[in-house]
A and B are shown apart, each in its own frame.
Chain A
Amino acid sequence: MVEIISEETARRLHSALRDIVSVPVQAVVSGLPYELVGSANGSVNWIIHLVDTGSGS
């Protein structure tokens, strides 16, 4: 039983970490410029440009 708990805990720990780490990774990819990541860039990059243009004007 202890062994099962250990395996389960390790699996859940792994899943929870993956779920958490994937969020900033997704945000970074979305924020990178088109020149680097092509179509994977997206809304975060759009917001960055919006803020950048707003501060520049």
Chain B
Amino acid sequence: MVSRQLLNAIVQKIYSFPEFHGCIIGLYGDNGCSVLEAGYTPSVNYGRVAVIIEEVVTDDPSTAANTQMWADTPGSSPAGSPNPIVVTNRSVWGREAVGAGLSCGMTIVSAVGVLGGVAAEVPSAGTSTFLVIVAWTGMITSGIQCINGLVRVGAIIANPDDNTLQRWDGNKIYSTTILIVDALGMVAAIAALPTGIENLWAIIVRQRAFALRGLTEATLRNMNAAERAKVIRELIEAASKTPEGRAAIMAAAREADIAASTLARPSSLSVRNAT
């Protein structure tokens, strides 16, 4: 318990600062709250500034030493002491809105890739599983960052003059978690990059091969049945590598009135149906 004499000395010390002179001073200690000084009504600080003195007991030697150092320094902060700056939510509104927009934009791009089923051209079963895991990891981590960005923007809107985000960022668990989530997303993206490049190259090469063949209705018509069957089989195989491609083939087959089983025997397809 702090003695009344010491409390009076603290009040006098507080009032010696012009910013606090005449303000109301409260005390939180000795198992209760009380008004230590009611303040001076003529003072400009009365009703504008309030000081709360909190009595705390600490067993931590470093905190005690730190407090003692502050107490021993007359009238000013100890040399080298940090100057705490309060960053209000309002002041970071712009960058947080940009951040949330970017995170959510990347989530949409990831989701389009994953949910569209275009992870790859399914090179092999093992690689495919790997790519699916990587793609989902990217989408989930991106989604977490998007939600995080939206929650932060929500916190700004809810309390623009508070320093919620500064306090969140100061929380080691929160900041480390978000950092790990971002790192996981980056690892997933980089892991998928070689396959992505390979995939792009395969598409370009195949497209060039088809372009070089100059496939038109006339060229197909000029081929014999065996050649035409080979070309059509290759075309069907190429287009059927993704679910969307298969669906397009089936739709086209239905439109052209070709039975699905016929697609497995391209030699029976006519030029009319093929084009």
Contact = CB atoms under 8 A, between A and B. Distances in A.
A9 B207 contact: yes
A2 interface: yes
Contacts of A46: 179
Interface in A1-25: 1-5, 7-9, 11-13, 15-20, 22-23, 25
A19 B196 contact: yes
The prevalent SS among residues of B at the interface is: helix
A36 interface: yes
Interface in B199-213: 199-200, 203-204, 206-207, 210
Interface in B147-178: 148-149, 152, 178
Given A18-B113, A23-B193, A34-B95, A42 B232 contact: no
Contacts of A7: 248
B124 to A, nearest CB: 18
Interface residues of B, number: 57
A26 B106 contact: yes
B215 interface: yes
B121 A12 contact: yes
A24 to B, nearest CB: 9
Interface string A28-57: 011000111111111110100000000000
B144 to A, nearest CB: 11
A38 B101 CA distance: 10
A36 B98 contact: yes
A38 B149 contact: yes
B52 interface: no
A4 B249 contact: yes
Contact of B106 (A3, A9, A29): A29
A39 B203 contact: no
Contacts of B121: 12
B227 to A, nearest CB: 15
B2 to A, nearest CB: 42
Interface string B51-78: 0000000000000000000000000000
Given A12-B199, A23-B196, A35-B95, 18 more contacts: A1-B232, A1-B274, A3-B275, A5-B235, A8-B244, A12-B203, A26-B186, A29-B106, A34-B95, A37-B98, A37-B99, A38-B92, A38-B97, A38-B98, A38-B99, A40-B100, A42-B183, A42-B185
Closest 9 pairs (CB-CB, A-B) = A42-B182, A38-B99, A40-B99, A38-B95, A43-B183, A16-B200, A38-B96, A15-B118, A39-B99
15 contacts: A4-B239, A4-B252, A8-B242, A8-B244, A11-B118, A13-B200, A16-B203, A19-B196, A23-B190, A25-B106, A26-B185, A37-B98, A38-B149, A39-B96, A44-B186
Interface of B: 92, 95-100, 102-103, 106, 109-110, 112-113, 116, 118, 121, 145, 148-149, 152, 178-183, 185-186, 189-190, 192-193, 196-197, 199-200, 203-204, 206-207, 210, 215-216, 232, 235-236, 238-239, 242, 244-245, 248-249, 252, 274-275
